[in-house]
Every structure is written in structure tokens, then in C-alpha cells.
């Protein structure tokens, strides 16, 4: 093991090192004291003692370049002025007999286990890097509202929740995670958890909730909430990604994207309620809705009949809506793909989702044929996966990189997001807490559950009123219902929506 590998192993394997009068001491579970670790501790005794003598809050255990996804996220952060719109906030509403000590241990176990939650992101010269600091146990912050009158408790709890979720992160000097426990009364508490999007995606949120539940159950029954490192970390993914594509593969895949996207515009001319202001407020709103059961079941049936997915069916319907709104027959959606391959990265907490540009040409004869085209585009896009900036770079001139200017619509079918959480002696409800800060022009998402299909539209208040957002969503649901009910009916000729 190299010195850096020793530090990285120690940071995630519950190995506690101390230096006293020139002696290096360790305390760790027997299972992690491998012969390789013991040899490393002997070989690097002097370096480890000097490392331990430094400031505890500056001890670095490893560093790595940023992944392509992290670089793109940093570009978004810089473009939006470090907006809190990239904060992923959750509120875990816990009703019952809460073991606060077990919850404290479980949250601390997350920090010890996952590098992404201890990262600092900055620059080394012209290169963006991530530095992973050593784990330091920090007591779970508690906001105790149990002494307040009942009519004040909810209002104060909501304010305390917003105080955790809303502040932007200083990614260079602050870990990309924040949390607090809010005690409303003896039988109800909220655990508020917010993670910057540069450290997580939907899949990673599911991993964090599973790990939190496992840690709580273990600590609650007298065990340890720290159950070792995952198979892979965000740093390992960034290093692996640099060598993933050889030049022939890269060129072949770029050729696919050039043919798939063609020469048409990548952005949409949508009928917003007003022009983009010179000084945008950066405020956004979210309209939530539920796809009616009959429409959900019809979309599932059509997907089965065409050998496609519900993602393809619902994306095709979104393309038809956007084509009608814009008057543009070719629509490009930004479609997030979970991208959890190889399997070693299934347990990793990192942002690994890749936004694939999906061109849908709505001049298909029938909606069923449009679903076929959409499904083929999705499968081919996954087969030709590349970092998003590389794909767009070939269309943006010699400088390349980044995102095209103008309005793009993100269409996320979030079938990898699992927000179920089961804890002993507790009833748990997990809610997402948006910050009402703008992230992009339009973000449309569907979240499937076993018995329902939820949806949301996130939109900038500078460009779109609540009334228009609701009207667009209602038209989408109606369009999806009609198309799934009669997928073999020819699509009407495209004409920009006369009422918009």
C-alpha cells in the first residue's frame, strides 16, 4: 500500500490512529487489520505521525480529479452564481419512539463510509480537484421545540427546516452535506438532510437512505453503525472514468451522436409568459401532480405492446407537447441516465447520472411509431454513453464543451429513486424539500411508485406563471391519455399551439 492508500483505507474502515510521544497507536475492528494495512502502518509510521500532528479539520486522506459529471455540475454552479438550486433537501418525518443516540451514530456512519460527504472541491492550478478530508465525528445538531405551544411548533419547525436546506454550499471550504434533528414533541421529530447535487444523484439518495436505515437498526440493537466502506467511492470513479474510453471508441460514439442529433437546433423556442429579464431573480417554483391511474395503466400497456418502456412512452408524449408549444417538429430532451455500470459503483454515493440528449422527430405517422423511435433512441444513447459536454462540444465550434445556450427541457423518469425508509418502532415519511431556486429553464420529472405515477414541473418564475405551468401540465396529461388510448391514430399536423 502507498501512503495515500493507507490514508484512504483508514478513513473508511474505522481505523482510529493516535500519535503519543513518537508512538503510533491504532484501534480498529479485527476484521480490517489486514496484513497489508499493518505493513503500511509500519512503513509509513513517520509520515502518519506528522499527518496526525496537523490540524484535525485539514487532514486530507486522498484527492482525485473531478469526474465529467462533477465538472459539468461545477460549470452549472458557476453559471448560476452558486445558487442553492443544486441543494437536494430531504425531510425524514419520524413518528414514534426515536432512539436519538442511534440516529446520531447512523448519520455519523454515513460520513465515515462515503468520501463524497467529506469532499472539498477546488482547483490545483488549472485543474479542478476533489480533496477528501479525514472523518471527524460531529454530534448531531438538535433543534428542540418541545417546550413551545402547539400552535407555534409547526411554524418554527418549518423555519428551522428551511434554515438547513436553503443556504448555498461553499464547496471549496465546506462539506457538501448538512443535517439537523428537529424535535417537535416527544413522539415526533424531523431529520433534515441536504446534500449538494455534486455529491449525489437520485440513485445515491437511495443508497444513503438504505445505509442510514442499516446503521440505525444496528446501533439501536447495540451494534455499530459504521459497517465499512462501499465497494467504490466518488474518487475512484473519477480516476476510472479518465481511462474508460480509448480514442477509437470515443470517435465512434461521437459519430453516433452527430448522426442522432443532426443539424437542427438543440434548443426550443417556447411561448413563455415573458422575455428573460436583464436581472433574473433566480427564483423557481414546482408544480406537483399525479398521472391518473387509467392513464398510467394505459402507458404501461402501450409500453408492453411496443416492447418499450414507460419512460419511452411518456418521453414521446412530452416531445409532442413541446413540438406543439414551440412549432418545432424536432425536439431534443435532456434525459438523465443513472449510469451505474460497472456494478462496483452501485453502492457509491456520487453524481454519476449522465444527461443524454434525445432527439425526437415528431413527424412520425402515429404515436405508437413515435414510441418506437423514442425507445430506439434511448437504447442507442445508453450504448453510446459519453460525458454530456463531449457530446455537445462537437456542435459548439472549436471551443466546444458546456451546454448550448437557450432553452432545453430536462425529462427525468426517476425509476431508480427509492425514498422508502423503514426504522424500528417508527413511522417514517420521506419528503423532498425544494429550495425554490432556479436550476434550469424547465425540468419535468415523473417518479413511478408501485401503485401510482407522480410528476413535477420545475420552472423559473421570471418566465412562467403558475397558471401557465399548470395549463402545460394539464395538456400533457390529456395528450398522454389520448395517445395511449389510440396509439395507431395518425398524429395531427404540427401547428404551434394557438392559445399560447
Predicted local distance difference test score (pLDDT) of residue 499:
42
Which of 336, 436, 349 minimizes the C-alpha distance to 117?
Answer: 349
Domains 60-237 and 245-419+436-485 equal at CATH topology level:
yes
Rg of the chain (C-alpha set): 25
Question: What is the architecture, at CATH level 2, of domain 60-237?
Answer: 2-Layer Sandwich (3.30)
Which of the four pLDDT bands, split at 50, 70 and 90, describes residue 125? Answer: confident
Percent of the chain scoring above 70 in pLDDT: 95
Predicted local distance difference test score (pLDDT) of residue 500:
41
Which of 341, 335, 339 minimizes the C-alpha distance to 311?
Answer: 335
Least confident of 257-266, 315-324, 371-380: 257-266
All three cell numbers of 112:
465515515
> Could you give the C-alpha distances from 170 to 200, 279, 350, 429, 494, in angstroms and in order?
16, 23, 18, 29, 47
Predicted local distance difference test score (pLDDT) of residue 231:
83
Q: What would the CATH number be for the domain defined by 245-419+436-485?
A: 3.30.559.30
Q: Which fold has domain 3-54?
A: Arc Repressor Mutant, subunit A (1.10.10)
Predicted local distance difference test score (pLDDT) of residue 233:
92
Which of the four pLDDT bands, split at 50, 70 and 90, describes residue 401? Answer: very low
Task: Report d(CA 257, CA 390) in Å as an integer.
Answer: 10
So where are the chain's domains?
3-54, 60-237, 245-419+436-485
Which of 188, 194, 191, 158 minimizes the C-alpha distance to 176?
Answer: 194
Which of the four pLDDT bands, split at 50, 70 and 90, describes residue 494? Answer: low
All three cell numbers of 141:
445538531
Predicted local distance difference test score (pLDDT) of residue 298:
98
All three cell numbers of 334:
435532456
> Could you give the C-alpha distances from 426 to 99, 322, 498, in angstroms and in order?
10, 44, 52
Task: Report d(CA 434, CA 447) in Å as an integer.
Answer: 15
478 neighbors 485 (Cβ within 8 angstroms): no
Task: Report d(CA 310, CA 413) in Å as an integer.
Answer: 9
Task: Report d(CA 469, CA 457) in Å as an integer.
Answer: 7
All three cell numbers of 475:
395538456
Which of the four pLDDT bands, split at 50, 70 and 90, describes residue 54? Answer: confident
Task: Report d(CA 415, CA 203) in Å as an integer.
Answer: 9
Count CB neighbours of 195 within 10 A: 28
Structure confidence by residue, pLDDT tens digits, 177-208: 999 999 999 999 999 999 999 999 999 999 99
Which of the four pLDDT bands, split at 50, 70 and 90, describes residue 498? Answer: very low
Burial 353-385 (b: 16+ CB within 10 A, else e): bbbbbbbbbbebeebbbbbbbbbebbeebeebb
Predicted local distance difference test score (pLDDT) of residue 58:
75
> Could you give the C-alpha distances from 323 to 267, 295, 317, 474, in angstroms and in order?
12, 21, 10, 16
pLDDT value at 86 more than 80: yes
Task: Report d(CA 123, CA 125) in Å as an integer.
Answer: 6
Give the angle subtended at the CA of 112 by the CAs of 109 and 117, to the nearest 5°: 105
Structure confidence by residue, pLDDT tens digits, 361-380: 999 889 999 999 999 999 99
Task: Report d(CA 86, CA 437) in Å as an integer.
Answer: 8
Predicted local distance difference test score (pLDDT) of residue 126:
85
Which of the four pLDDT bands, split at 50, 70 and 90, describes residue 404? Answer: low
- Tracing cell 480529479 back to the chain, one arrives at 65
Quick one: average pLDDT of 222-248?
87
Predicted local distance difference test score (pLDDT) of residue 22:
87
Q: Pick the most confident of 26-40, 237-251, 471-485.
A: 471-485
All three cell numbers of 445:
420529472
When the pLDDT of each residue in the chain is averaged and rounded to a whole number, the result is 90
Task: Report d(CA 102, CA 242) in Å as an integer.
Answer: 39
Amino acid at each position: 500500500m502507498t501512503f495515500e492508500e493507507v490514508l484512504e483505507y483508514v478513513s473508511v474502515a474505522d481505523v482510529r490512529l493516535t500519535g503519543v510521544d513518537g508512538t503510533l497507536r491504532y484501534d480498529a475492528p479485527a476484521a480490517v487489520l489486514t496484513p497489508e494495512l499493518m505493513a503500511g502502518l509500519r512503513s509509513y509510521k513517520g509520515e502518519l505521525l506528522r499527518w496526525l500532528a496537523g490540524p484535525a479539520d485539514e487532514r486530507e486522506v486522498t484527492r482525485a480529479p473531478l469526474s465529467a459529471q462533477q465538472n459539468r455540475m461545477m460549470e452549472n454552479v458557476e453559471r448560476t452564481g452558486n445558487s442553492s438550486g443544486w441543494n437536494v433537501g430531504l425531510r425524514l418525518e419520524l413518528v414514534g419512539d426515536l432512539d436519538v443516540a442511534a440516529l446520531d451514530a447512523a448519520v455519523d456512519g454515513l460520513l465515515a463510509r462515503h468520501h463524497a460527504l467529506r469532499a472539498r472541491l477546488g482547483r490545483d492550478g488549472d485543474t479542478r480537484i476533489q480533496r477528501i478530508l479525514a472523518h471527524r465525528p460531529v454530534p448531531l445538531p438538535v433543534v428542540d421545540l418541545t417546550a413551545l405551544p402547539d400552535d407555534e411548533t409547526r411554524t418554527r419547525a418549518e423555519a428551522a427546516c428551511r434554515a438547513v436546506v436553503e443556504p448555498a454550499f461553499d464547496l471549496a471550504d465546506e462539506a457538501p452535506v448538512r443535517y439537523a434533528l428537529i424535535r417537535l414533541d416527544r413522539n415526533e421529530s424531523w431529520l433534515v438532510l441536504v446534500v449538494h447535487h455534486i455529491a449525489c444523484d437520485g440513485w445515491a439518495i437511495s443508497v444513503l437512505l438504505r445505509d442510514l436505515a442499516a446503521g440505525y437498526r444496528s446501533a439501536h440493537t447495540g451494534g455499530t453503525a459504521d459497517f465499512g466502506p462501499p465497494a467504490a467511492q466518488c474518487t475512484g470513479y473519477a480516476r476510472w472514468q479518465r481511462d474508460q474510453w480509448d480514442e477509437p471508441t470515443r470517435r465512434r460514439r461521437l459519430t453516433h451522436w452527430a448522426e442522432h442529433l443532426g443539424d437542427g437546433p438543440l434548443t426550443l423556442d417556447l411561448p413563455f409568459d415573458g422575455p428573460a429579464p436583464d436581472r433574473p431573480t433566480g427564483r423557481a417554483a414546482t408544480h406537483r401532480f399525479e398521472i391518473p391511474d387509467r392513464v398510467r395503466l394505459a402507458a404501461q400497456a402501450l409500453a408492453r405492446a411496443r416492447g418499450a418502456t414507460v419512460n419511452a412512452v411518456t418521453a414521446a408524449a412530452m416531445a409532442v407537447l413541446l413540438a406543439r408549444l414551440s412549432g418545432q417538429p424536432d425536439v431534443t430532451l435532456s434525459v438523465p441516465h443513472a449510469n451505474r455500470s460497472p456494478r462496483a459503483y452501485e453502492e457509491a454515493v456520487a453524481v454519476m447520472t449522465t444527461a443524454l440528449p434525445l432527439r425526437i422527430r415528431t413527424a412520425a405517422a402515429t404515436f405508437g411509431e413515435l414510441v418506437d423511435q423514442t425507445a430506439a433512441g434511448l437504447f442507442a444513447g445508453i450504448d453510446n454513453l459519453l460525458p454530456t459536454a463531449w457530446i455537445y462540444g462537437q456542435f459548439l465550434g472549436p471551443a466546444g464543451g458546456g451546454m448550448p445556450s437557450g432553452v432545453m427541457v430536462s425529462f427525468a423518469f426517476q425509476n431508480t429513486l427509492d425514498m422508502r425508509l423503514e426504522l424500528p418502532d417508527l413511522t417514517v415519511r420521506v419528503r423532498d424539500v425544494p429550495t425554490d431556486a432556479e436550476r434550469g429553464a424547465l425540468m419535468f420529472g415523473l417518479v413511478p411508485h408501485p401503485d401510482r405515477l407522480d410528476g413535477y414541473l420545475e420552472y423559473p418564475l421570471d418566465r412562467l406563471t403558475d397558471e401557465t405551468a399548470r395549463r402545460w401540465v394539464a395538456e400533457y396529461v390529456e395528450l398522454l391519455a389520448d395517445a395511449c388510448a389510440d396509439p395507431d391514430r395518425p398524429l395531427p399536423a404540427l401547428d404551434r399551439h394557438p392559445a399560447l
